[in-house]
Homo-oligomer: A and B are copies of this chain.
Amino acid sequence: MKKTVLSLLALASTLCVSAQETILGFSKAASEKELQLENQFEKELSTANLDEWMQRLAAEPHWVGTEYGEKNVKWMEKQFKSWGYDTRVDTYHVLFPYPKVRVLELTAPTKYTAKLKAVPVEGDPYTHQENLLPSYNAYSTDGDVEAELVFVNYGIPSDYEELEKLGIDVKGKIVIAKYYGSWRGIKPKLAAEKGAIGCIIYSDPEDDGYGRGDVYPKGAFKNKTGVQRGSVMDMPLYPGDVLTPGYAATKDAKRLKREDAPTITKIPVLPISYEDAQPLLEALQGPVAPASWRGGLPITYHIGPGPAKVHLKLEFDWQLKPAHNVIATLKGAELPDQWVIRGNHHDAWVHGASDPISGLVALMEEARVVGKLAKQGKKPKRTLVYCAWDAEETGLIGSTEWVEDHKAELQQKTVAYVNTDGNGRGFLGAGGSHSLQAMVSQVAHAVTDPQKGVSIAERSAARNVVNGGDDAFKLYALGSGSDYTPFIQHAGIPSLNLGFGGENSGGEYHTIYDTYSHYTRFKDPGFHYGTALANTAGRIVLRLANAEVLPFELQQWHSTIDGYLGEIMKTLETMRSDVEKHNAKVAKNQYGLANDPKKPVKAAEKEGEVPYLDFSPLQNVLADLKNDIDTFSQVDKTQLSNAKKAELNQALMKMEQALTSEKGLPRRDWFKHQIYAPGFYTGYGVKTLPGVREAIEQKEWKEAQEQIASLANTLKNFDAHVQKLNAIVQ
């Protein structure tokens, strides 16, 4: 039976080759050769290696600065070397807080002391180890506070709007927020902005516990003791070492004083389990929380404030720790100064079998096979750089410091950066620069799904259609949350982020339960999607490395960006119509008449009218771009002379940088890219055309008009770059 499936897969694979005659960036002849190489690459991939290496790398906790982390680094260095890579370890010295004191107590109206401890479970020996990192939020400030508690749902902007309607102020209070709804770092940031003096984050069982499915160890989901660790540094301001914004945390770098570091939280913040959250929430009175706020605990959720009062005391051991990036280079046979960079982090909060080791072992297997093929004479044209980043969990620190350290050279030489992180069973998720969408789509049509025997593109399309969408292959836009951020958003290097998922499930994320035992039961048993990831990322890397003409495509890029502008214009119209409707209701006192007098709320007030903005600068430049891009697209670049190709490739390598602006985004100049950024108030969630979109969302109308002008200017530079491409190819 198994054999039959494998033969079918092989057959399907062969069919793909013949069906797809040429691939982007390759002439017909070169396409055939490349596909042969890729198929050979695919055949060499071994699930056994992934399995064995995960057991090795995730055997013990290995957060930044740990002994086991350093052992992993040395072992990886050895592996890469053995596969033929020039390998070095680039080390930075970064501020890391270890939790010394963690106290959380309910002090009124009853007493409860939070346990702050996930329990070891049967069948998972890793959870019984001694040296597990206590649960905490890294880059919480030290603090010792006691105050009444307020439940703030997810603690995101719309929740505070709701609280304001209810007349509830968090000033001087400690807030308790559910995980999810935003990246976790937004919760203490907003709470502090609103005047709260402490923040507790908990995993509600509806979102992340028995409400999702059976809990660990019976099932994959979070049991009542599990706690999600995680960084709360203000990454939307800048990621990386908190003391060295915008430059490398080398040994002798000039550092900010800790108290001046703007990305450390203003108030203490601690994550807890739902077992620890229940007594706190149960002790709240005040209004019953709105229906959409209520979670899965067997209680009536009240908002407070009080009578529940809590005492939160946190102290950290703030030390500089070495963050070790493993950098393994395979010099290109023809174009050594054109680099394709591939990375995945290696540090974990605890064992990190899924996050990040599942992605890391796929990267390593990919590197091993590429190295083996190179030894057989099939060396890539361009240079490959395989990177294993340290200190990603604490704030993308290893990759950010490295990019900051080498920014000029990277901008000069890098073709693209391809990132992975945790991986699981299911469907390909691919995000990145939309100039790479057409290429990634071709690759997705060439990779066979391990379970269904069709291409992973076809499988994703089927799911999208079943969910009511269309079957077009699309890259999502990159926000933040993994190591692509410094590459694309700071250095303007075209980037991708790849991973499978959707059929793996669990509540192990950043807990002591993210272990080999959990992974092999619930995430990707047999590591079939691990090799699918190596196959997908490897083919992308090989195409980028071997292409005659770098496989950037701009028509899909244009329609994507045009779509973003359409969205923003529609958002503004919706805001205008909502405000008009709202103000009409206020004028007629309809809110007042509809309200229940026994549930008093703040009287509704008129909102400022939404102005019409002038989008024509953007519409005009996008129209110009469309013409120039259409012109460029009509040319078969593989037929150009070698000299022209070389010139074109140099220009293509710099293209994405034309989408950055040196002055960066308002209030956060580290973020240079003008098309993609993490949201200032969403964290990981992307904001496309961020300068314009966020100004509109925040109702900063003057800034919005300025950002339209600024973005139009960036797009004009980009258009000039496209015209330069046209000049080369004509």
Listed in ascending order, the chain A residues whose CB lies under 8 Å from chain B are: 205, 210-215, 219, 221, 288, 294, 296-300, 426, 451-452, 454, 458-459, 461-463, 465-467, 503, 585, 588-594, 596-598
Contact = CB atoms under 8 A, between A and B. Distances in A.
B598 A503 contact: yes
B211 A585 contact: no
A84 to B, nearest CB: 38
Given A210-B300, A296-B296, A451-B597, 6 more contacts: A213-B300, A297-B298, A454-B593, A459-B594, A462-B591, A503-B598
Nearest to A299: B210
Given A300-B219, A588-B462, A452 B214 contact: no
Nearest to A221: B300
A466 B594 contact: yes
A308 to B, nearest CB: 15
Contacts of A288: 213-214
A585 B298 contact: no
A462 B593 contact: yes
A64 to B, nearest CB: 35
B503 A590 contact: no
A459 to B, nearest CB: 5
A451 B597 CA distance: 7
Contacts of A451: 597
Contact of A590 (B297, B298, B462): B462
A461 B593 CA distance: 9
B594 A214 contact: no
Contacts of A213: 288, 300
B214 A300 contact: yes
A298 B593 contact: no
A307 to B, nearest CB: 14
Interface of chain A, helix or strand or loop or mixed?
A: loop
Contacts of A299: 210
A503 B452 CA distance: 53
A254 B592 CA distance: 58
B300 A298 contact: no
A590 B452 CA distance: 11
Contacts of A598: 503
Contacts of A215: 300
B214 A462 contact: no
A12 to B, nearest CB: 13
The 9 closest A-B pairs by CB, nearest first: A462-B593, A462-B590, A463-B594, A466-B594, A298-B298, A462-B594, A503-B596, A210-B300, A213-B288
B296 A452 contact: no
A424 to B, nearest CB: 12
5 contacts: A205-B298, A214-B300, A452-B593, A462-B585, A463-B594
Nearest to A588: B462
Contact of A589 (B219, B296, B426, B462): B462
Name, among A211, A215, A221, A426, the residue most crowded by chain B CB atoms within 10 Å (CB to CB): A211
Contact of A211 (B212, B294, B588, B596): B294
Contacts of A461: 590
A278 to B, nearest CB: 9
A593 B459 contact: yes
Contacts of A594: 459, 462-463, 465-467
A598 B426 CA distance: 11
A296 B298 CA distance: 7
A462 B584 CA distance: 11
Given A288-B213, A294-B211, A593 B463 contact: yes
A48 to B, nearest CB: 22
A585 B466 contact: yes
Contacts of A212: 300
A585 B462 CA distance: 8
A63 B452 CA distance: 61
A219 B301 CA distance: 13
Contacts of A467: 594
Given A454-B593, A459-B593, A585 B297 contact: no
A491 to B, nearest CB: 37
Contacts of A298: 205, 210, 296-298
A590 B465 contact: yes
Nearest to A525: B598
A574 to B, nearest CB: 14
A594 B503 CA distance: 10
A503 B596 CA distance: 6
A282 B170 CA distance: 38
Nearest to A589: B462
Nearest to A274: B298
A39 to B, nearest CB: 23
A294 B221 CA distance: 15
A264 to B, nearest CB: 36
B296 A590 contact: no
A580 to B, nearest CB: 13
A300 B211 contact: yes
A529 to B, nearest CB: 12
A300 to B, nearest CB: 5
B300 A452 contact: no
A292 to B, nearest CB: 12
A461 B462 CA distance: 45
A215 B300 CA distance: 8
Nearest to A213: B288
Contacts of A590: 461-462, 465-466
A679 B573 CA distance: 41
Contacts of A593: 452, 454, 458-459, 462-463
A214 B294 CA distance: 13
Contacts of A297: 298
Contacts of A503: 596, 598
Given A288-B214, A294-B211, A503-B596, A466 B591 contact: yes
